[in-house]
Amino acid sequence: MTRLPSYFLSHGGGPWPFMDNEFSRMFGELEQSLKTVAAELPEKPSAVLVISGHWEAVEFQVASAATPGMVYDYHGFPEHTYHVRYPAPGDPALAAEVQQRLRDVGLPCHLDSEQGFDHGAFSLLYPMYPEADVPVVQLSLLHSMDPAAHLAAGRALAPLREKNILIVGSGMSYHNLRLLGPGGAEPSRQFDKWLQQTLVESEPDTRRERLEHWSQAPSARIAHPREDHLLPLMVALGAAEQEPAGCIYRQHDLFGGITVSSYRFGNLPD
């Protein structure tokens, strides 16, 4: 039986893959790591389910359009980045299955036929699948930001991995836009060290407990004043809760000193 791993991927800043300047070149290591994620899988997934840190709702929402549009949810970037397209198809059948799986475990979920791809999705999918030839479905976060609920959602969605569906939590392991650069270097290092210990070195039960109480970690609320970019991690881990984790990307000099990382949960198929 083939079972795809799940991933928590740091997605960088705004529409960086569609730019060619000093800002976008800062994400060169991240770009290579995203290409590696796609290359290390034995074949293209049948679809990608993305849980983006840029979409929240009171109850879970899943994008169900056959031809999703675009959401330009960033500010201050070059004009052309507000016209870029990532023309991957949606997958209404997968969206309906995601909805049912969440409902089956008591998590209300609704279909949203209007939601398009936000940059939490297309900024990492473009380096991974530049031909946009893999169907993509997005799942929202809960506005409550309850870690346990997002872990539970991941558990409910875990069987999708056996159907060649790639589950990707898209956020950032450090997300404090007011403290980038040298001022955020030490807090990001401290939180990243805790994240590595929690995800890679801890036993599954300990890992889950630490994540449910993530705000007690060193520099937690400096690294994430609001946890919208951390919660996609909970879904990705929940989908492979008892399986080993590995750090697949770690950079210490983003924005002049910030440490960020990405993780794979579960082993690569043979």
- Residue 120 reports pLDDT greater than 70: yes
Which secondary structure element, helix H or strand E, spans residue 169, and what is its range?
strand 165-171
Q: How far is Cα 163 from Cα 39, in angstroms, rounded to an integer? A: 19
pLDDT surpassing 80 at residue 149? yes
The pLDDT score that the predictor gives to residue 90 is 98
C-alpha pair distances (Å), 250 with each of 188, 200, 263: 12, 13, 9
24-41: average pLDDT = 96
DSSP state of 51: E
- Given this model, what pLDDT does residue 270 score? 75
Mean pLDDT value of segment 31-51: 96
Using alpha carbons only, what angle is made at residue 138 by residues 121 and 152, rounded to the nearest 5 degrees? Answer: 115
One DSSP character per residue, 128-163 reads H-TT--S-EEEEEEETT--HHHHHHHHHHHGGGGGG
For residue 186, give the H/E element and its range: helix 185-196
Kindly give, in sequence order, each residue whose CB lies less than 8 Å from that of residue 103, ignoring residues fewer than 6 positions away: 109
Mean pLDDT taken over the chain = 96
pLDDT digits (tens, 9 = 90+) for 5-23: 999 999 999 999 999 999 9
- Catalogue all structural domains in the chain, each as residue range(s) with its CATH number: 6-265 (3.40.830.10)
Confidence of residue 2 (pLDDT cuts 50, 70, 90): confident
